Structures are given as C-alpha cells and as structure tokens.
Amino acid sequence: MPTLRVPSVLLMLCAAMVLNGGHLLALDAAGSKNATADLDDNEIEDKYVTRVLEEAAQYRLKRSHYVSSAADEQAAATYLAQAKAVLADGKPQPLERDLHWWSPRWWFFTPPQTFRAGWLAHDGFTAYPYAKVAGDLLSLELGTYAARGAISELHDTLFIMWFYLPDYPDLSRIMDLCLIAGEKVQDFQKSVHLESDSPGEVIQISGETALQDVNKLFRFLVLHGDRESIAPRAAIGLARALLRSGNKDDLYQARREYEHFCETYPTNELVFTALCERALSYLVSYKGNNYDVGVLISAASIIDQAEIESRGKPENVALVAAYRKRIRSWHQDRDLEVARWYHDRIMAGLAWLMCPGTANGSWDLASRFYYREVIRRDSGSEQARVAFRELNALTPPTPSELGTDLHPPAKP
C-alpha cells in the first residue's frame, strides 16, 4: 500500500542529520551494523521493486474482494472533485494538511495549484485506495507531477499505478504524458549546437546528474511502453543521456544504442533521428584540425544514410543539410591545415630532416593534393577560395625536386 509522504521540513531535518553524522546511519538501534549499508544502488532498487510488487499483489487481491461503502465512495469522489477544482482555479475549502505545522501555509506561503491538487489526490487515494475513483485520483496526482517536472515523484507514481491498477483504461495516455514530461526535462535539442565552431561545444554537457531520474523513467517506459510510440521514444531518450555524458565509454555505448534502435525498430520514423544523433556522437569526439579526421568521415557516411530515411520532410532535409555543412566545414579546415603543414616544412627546409631521403617534390605534391581536395569538396566555400589563392602562389616543382625526369627523352 502507498503511504503518506514525509513532509518536506522533516526531510530537511533528516538531511541535516545525515550531513552532520551520516556514519550513524550504518548502525541500528542496538549499535550493530545495518545490513543495507553495504548495498549498492542496483541492489537497493531491486529491493524497492520487490517490495512494491509484493504490496501490489496484496492490493490487487484485497481490491478484488473489497466492497466499498457509499460513504467511502462519496468521500473519495469529493477528494477528486476538490483536486479538479483546484486545478481549475476554484476555491475549495482549505486542506486539512494546510493546518499542520509542516504545511507551507504555516510558513505564510500559499503553494501553487499543482501542489495542492496533487496533495488532495494523494490523500484521497491513501484514505480510500479501493474506491472506484482510485485510479482517477492517482492519474490526477501523476498529472500534477508531470506539470511541475517532478520526475522522481512522477516515476514512483507511475510505478504504483502500473502494478496496482494494471486494468486502468487510460494507462496509454498516462504513459505518453510521463514520456513528454521526461523529454521536456531532458530538453536534448537545446543542448545541440551544430553551428558551433568548437567540437567540444556541439553538445552542451550539463546537469547530467539531475537527469538520472529521467533515465530511470525512460528505462521503465522502454520495458512497459507500447512498441509503436512509447518504447522507441524512451529508447532514444536513454541513448541521448549517454551522448550527453561526455564520457568516452558512454559515447561508444551511445553509438551502440542508436545502432540497436535501428535494428529493433527499422520502420519507425525515429530511425532518422537515431542516425543523425549517431553521427553526432562522432562529431563530439572530433578533436580539431590537428587530429584524426576519421570521425568526420564516419559521421558523413551516417548522414548519407539519414538522408535516405528523411522521407522528404522539409525539416529532415534541412537537418541533413545542417549536418553536412558542419562536417564539410571541419573537414575543409582540417585539409587546409594539412596542406599548409606540408608547404611550411618545405619552406623551412625541414622536409629532408623530417623524412631523410625524401625529395621536397613529394612534400610539395602532398601540399598540392590537399589544397585541391579543399577546392574539390566545396568550391564555393571560404576555405576553397583561400586554398585556390595559396595553391596558385606555389612555384611548380622542378624535376630534381621530384627526383625524376618530368620529360623523358623520346624513343629513337
């Protein structure tokens, strides 16, 4: 059975106790070591899930035999009506909890409508868990959490609703509501900056710790959501979390997740999104002009696949163009840098020193090759205009520099 939540002031007091003597939590009342002190997060979560499943089974069994009185049904319906009235900016009677010392009103603060409506719905379900409107009370409470972006409470309430009331007729809409709330908090699109000149700024990495609750919600939706809409969108959300972390291993795992998505949902319209963001995982790992360009080549190849999946939608076509512009610009910068590097070694007389036995002509040809690549790739770009100008300024290589005769004698 769900229980009343601990008031926020008590939570703050508990937090203060932890900060000032957290080591005490490892001891029980008799001074012996607490058995849960050595559990990791996964074990704690497993124990929580097991407990909820056991309580849910007991709830469903009792609910199937419970006969609610007319008075209880009326009281539960009153809670629901008051909660709806609060959300509609009505003026119901003050809540009982508003009169308690821990209430925000006790601190001369009137809480927002969503808080008050959520409290009413929660109190109604706690007092009358077997009433006919029990599912509606939980649904309304969950909606207030979604409106406030309170993802931890949203996940916990969804968890209870899924296992306590699996026959609730509106679960599909509720899951979609939860997913939208999670996507809004993650806000991935605002963290992507393809126009940035620095690879390190293409994805804004911030608040990853605060998004752990969102990831937990997404994992639940991947497992229990429908395979047409909910689960695929949640899977994309989990891959995005890995992409945003900035960790090298997470980047590799994100690529695998996007690839797995395309294999699992090959006909889903989000395949285009998965491909674009997989290309993004390569762009993020690019280190700049003086580093390996292989990641740009990989990203370009993936964007070519994404173009096939764009389905002609104008926004998808525009996104493909934006990715190509970003990739091409960095590739142009890098090849121009390489062309200048080869040329500078010749001008400084370092070609032989850096590679004994090599004629300057070989270095000159390498420089010319990269200048021409810049021009060939995008002749209208600023880099191409610079490359054309610098290429024309080069003096033609002599036969001795090339180490071979440019004009062999004619056969007799």
**149-204 pLDDT per residue, tens:** 999 999 999 999 999 999 999 999 999 999 999 999 998 888 888 888 888 788 77
CA distance 361 to 351: 9
Number of folded domains that form the chain: 1
CA distance 16 to 29: 19
Q: Which two tokens stand for residue 64?
A: 């199937």
- What is the per-residue pLDDT for 122? 95
Evaluate if residue 16 carries a pLDDT over 80: no
Sign of CA dihedral 308, 314, 320, 325: positive
Among 191, 96, 87, CA closest to 139? 87
CA distance 312 to 386: 35
Q: Which two tokens stand for residue 300?
A: 């370009």
- Mark 347-375 as b/e (b = at least 16 C-beta within 10 Å): eeeebeeeeeeebbbbbbebbbebbbbbb
Domain assignment present for 340: yes
Domain assignment present for 51: no
Domain assignment present for 405: no
Between 111 and 163, residue with greater pLDDT: 163
Confidence of residue 77 (pLDDT cuts 50, 70, 90): very high
Evaluate if residue 376 carries a pLDDT over 70: yes
Within 10 Å of residue 333's Cβ, how many Cβ atoms?
Answer: 17
Residues forming beta bridges with residue 192, ordered by sequence position: 203
Confidence of residue 60 (pLDDT cuts 50, 70, 90): very high
The tens digit of pLDDT for each residue in 122-152 reads 999 999 999 999 999 999 999 999 999 999 9
Domain assignment present for 53: no
Domain assignment present for 334: yes
Evaluate if residue 63 carries a pLDDT over 80: yes
Domain assignment present for 168: no
Domain assignment present for 338: yes
The tens digit of pLDDT for each residue in 321-373 reads 999 999 999 999 999 999 988 888 765 554 444 444 444 456 678 888 999 99
Average pLDDT of the segment spanning 254-265 = 95
Between helix 134-148 and helix 151-164 the angle, nearest 10°, is: 160
CA distance 351 to 349: 6
Residue 132 and residue 68 in contact, taking contact as beta carbons nearer than 8 Å: yes
Show contacts of 375-380: CB within 8 Å, 24+ apart.
377/328, 377/331, 377/332, 377/335, 378/328, 378/332
Q: Which two tokens stand for residue 315?
A: 């926004």
Is the pTM above the cut of 0.95? no
Evaluate if residue 121 carries a pLDDT over 60: yes
Between 198 and 312, residue with greater pLDDT: 312
Q: Which residue has the tokens 């919600």?
A: 217
Evaluate if residue 4 carries a pLDDT over 50: no
Q: Which domain holds residue 394?
A: 330-398
Domain assignment present for 88: no
CA distance 213 to 219: 10
Residue 58 and residue 83 in contact, taking contact as beta carbons nearer than 8 Å: no
At residue 263, the 3 state secondary structure works out as: helix
CA 233 remoteness from chain centre: 11
Show contacts of 52-57: CB within 8 Å, 24+ apart.
52/159, 52/160, 52/163, 53/163, 55/1, 56/160, 56/163, 56/164
